[in-house]
Amino acid sequence: MRRLTKPKVYLVSRPSVDWDKVARLLADEGLPDIPESIRAGEDESAAIVEVSARLCYMSFGRGRKHIEDFIENLLSKGDGSVFEHVNYGFVITGVSRSLTHELVRHRAGFAYSQRSQRFVDESDSPFVVPPAIEEGSPEYAILRDALEKAARSYQELVDALEESIPGQLDLNEDGGGQGVFTTKWDRRKAIRQAARAVLPNATETKIFVTANVRAWRHFIEMRGAAFADWEIRRLALDILEMLQGEAPLLFGDFTIEELPDGTRTATPTHSKV
């Protein structure tokens, strides 16, 4: 039985600005050139927020001189919609189905693509050990026994369904009609979708998640809190650290703290912008 204890998080998409087009817009509108202050180093994420916020008031070249002040003012006022222009996409592997069930509850501003248990054979899938269970502990032995049993049951069900589901399955209750399996994949899907009933929450899954900064901030606030499940909390912290590196002005107000149990939490200064 293969087991995993940590997620892998890959940042696969990030925002970028076409500065030539921004310059042309400003010239076309007879506005001042892009101030250097908007281009705060490599952090183009914050520049996107500033350009979109300034468009609302056509305030290019006026007001706050530093992008840090500008962003801080938006966060403190809760002007969250301009943070929706900045998107980051992650591929996440080595997480459990229980984690992703919680993750996909986050709706606003999120897009998901997840490995399918109907299409993909789960016979050899690893299991994710919850952070609270230490390898070698009595709890681990209970978990391992249950997971091994589930893996065996899955394989037994797949084998049994291979025999019991006919190659030509009738749609109609009266036995008439045409077979529904038009390709060999349809039949495999029917077998796997039934056999997955015995797969545990600990089964590993892989998911591609894209969200905008407003949505990521809300996710990290909810799932980085002490009362969140440890596995998703650890993921929220991993994502926060990556996003703080990518977009320090947009995620810099989160404080990371270590709890006595060794787990960590994240708390923003500006809640739910």
Ligand X SMILES: Cc1cc2nc3c(=O)[nH]c(=O)nc-3n(C[C@H](O)[C@H](O)[C@H](O)COP(=O)(O)OP(=O)(O)OC[C@H]3O[C@@H](n4cnc5c(N)ncnc54)[C@H](O)[C@@H]3O)c2cc1C
Q: How far is the CB of 55 from ligand X (least distance, A)?
A: 24
259 is a contact residue toward ligand X (CB under 6 A): no
Residue 6 contacts ligand X per CB under 6 A: no
Identify which range of 13-21, 66-74, 104-112, 261-269 contacts ligand X by CB under 6 A.
104-112
Among 2, 42, 57, 107, binds ligand X (CB under 6 A): 107
Q: Which residue is nearest to ligand X (CB)?
A: 107
Task: Give min distance, CB of 210 to ligand X, in A.
Answer: 13
Q: Does 66 bind ligand X (CB under 6 A)?
A: no
- The verdict on whether 223 is a catalytic residue reads yes
| Least distance to ligand X, CB of residue 67, Å | 26
Residue 218 touching ligand X (CB under 6 A): yes
Selecting among 97, 223, 233, 234, the annotated active-site residue is 223
Exactly one of 39, 85, 106, 189 binds ligand X (CB under 6 A); that residue is 106
270 touching ligand X, by CB under 6 A? no
Tokens of 74: 């938006």
Contact between 21 and ligand X by CB under 6 A: the answer reads no
Closest to ligand X by CB, 151 vs 215, is 215
**108 near ligand X (CB under 6 A):** yes
Residues 6+ apart with CB under 8 A from 206: 91, 92, 93, 95, 114, 115
* Sole window of 47-55, 101-109, 132-140, 260-268 interacting with ligand X (rule: CB under 6 A): 101-109
Q: Cite the active site residues.
A: 223
